[in-house]
Amino acid sequence: MIHLAQLRLQLERSFSPLACECTITGDHSLTVKLYHPVSGQVDLVVSGLNVTTLNTREAVAALIEELRYELESNTLHRPDPVS
């Protein structure tokens, strides 16, 4: 299992300029929140991730790709419509 601080650092590097908050619950599930550090606007929150599966670089890379897909698919992340 990857250390939580290392995971957060990797996520912040991958999703810069967004900030990242990672929390683990008692049942070892992970919640990841990606947000704008200045405004606090949240772009993505994913909960219920199994932290015990994040034990290799490949697993972390796969998580980053999944989060990237979710972030791009998020309707709140669409550019503002042109008036």
- How far is it, in rounded angstroms, from Cα 15 to Cα 3? 18
pLDDT digits (tens, 9 = 90+) for 60-69: 999 999 999 9
Evaluate whether residue 83 is within a structural domain: no
- How far is it, in rounded angstroms, from Cα 75 to Cα 5? 29
Q: Could you tell me the residue range of the domain that residue 61 belongs to? A: 4-74
Evaluate whether residue 82 is within a structural domain: no
pLDDT digits (tens, 9 = 90+) for 4-57: 888 888 988 999 999 999 988 888 899 999 999 999 999 999 999 988 888 888
Q: How confident is the model at residue 72 (pLDDT cuts 50, 70, 90)?
A: confident
Q: How many domains does the structure of the chain reveal? A: 1
- Dihedral of CA 11/13/61/74: which sign? positive
What H or E segment, with its residue span, contains residue 77? none
Evaluate whether residue 8 is within a structural domain: yes
| Residue 4: burial class (beta carbons within 10 Å; 0-12, 13-18, 19+) | middle
Evaluate whether residue 81 is within a structural domain: no
Residue 62 belongs to domain with CATH number:
3.30.160
Evaluate whether residue 9 is within a structural domain: yes
Evaluate whether residue 43 is within a structural domain: yes
Evaluate whether residue 80 is within a structural domain: no
Q: What is the pLDDT of residue 2?
A: 67
pTM score:
0.79
Q: What is the pLDDT of residue 81?
A: 45
